[in-house]
Chain A
């Protein structure tokens, strides 16, 4: 158990940067490369790294599985509700011009909202699938 000291310490140093990079890719997606999907996968990779190094029990204690299970439909909900808000204001479905007085602002808010939806769903599915795989145990 003590032999993987180097791995554990270095992954502890790396993990905040991985998560930070995921958020950078997420919120910088409209200026540089990236977006919800990429950010979600990077975030999930961070949590998977944590699980590999520290074991499934500790990981599930620190990042409870139920959160990720709820995140899968939550992202779809965020995406759809964004579309429905613009629909309720008399615009087309997913027409973000409706979200603010100034169309470009509306576009910005809308893109950030749906990227958030993608982000949440992708993290949820990746980590849930990984947890479900690992938790099966060897038969």
Chain B
């Protein structure tokens, strides 16, 4: 994954960048699968590797394939990125060790969900019961986000037809 990321940064040919980001998405999906997050892995494989690659290639069809040389030095952005990245990595030292079972997120609401999901909703997949039932309102919000995004993109792309 680190290699693909470096490749994405170094390469100037946008076609290879798109293909590399597809590979990155597939690796990410595999990683999520290893973490037992099958729902997210499925989404990553379908959206990240499938649809967004197709959309990116469509965009490349309308623009140039090779990226132009940058017009300005990138020292200041590099410093800002390194500083913020360093601070975030420093912040991870405050987190509990990876996979620890006595952390707050595993002792409060997750346990409730895991215990009560089956008896309250009768749905074996806890992810679905949390998404659709306990957090139904959030999911409604997400659908409205998709709806708004689609309306926005469509009104930009089709503005000369109206």
Asked whether B39 lies within 8 Å of A33 as measured between CB atoms, the reply is yes
Asked whether B140 lies within 8 Å of A138 as measured between CB atoms, the reply is no
How many residues on chain A are close to B (CB under 8 Å)?
A: 51
**What A residues does B137 contact at CB under 8 A?**
93-94
Q: Number of A-B pairs whose CB atoms are under 8 Å?
A: 137
Asked whether B133 lies within 8 Å of A107 as measured between CB atoms, the reply is yes
Indicate whether B154 reaches chain A with its CB closer than 8 angstroms: yes
Q: Closest approach, in angstroms, between the C-beta of B60 and any C-beta of chain A?
A: 11
Among the listed A31, A34, A42, A83, which residue makes an inter-chain contact with B124, where contact means beta carbons less than 8 Å apart? A31
Asked whether B39 lies within 8 Å of A80 as measured between CB atoms, the reply is no
Asked whether B61 lies within 8 Å of A115 as measured between CB atoms, the reply is no
Beta-carbon nearest neighbor of A44 in chain B: B51
Indicate whether B147 reaches chain A with its CB closer than 8 angstroms: yes
Interface residue ranges, A against B (CB under 8 Å): 25, 29-35, 37-38, 41-42, 44-45, 48, 52, 69, 72-73, 75-76, 79-80, 83, 93-94, 96, 103-104, 107-108, 110-111, 114-115, 117-118, 121-122, 124-126, 128-130, 132-134, 136, 138-139
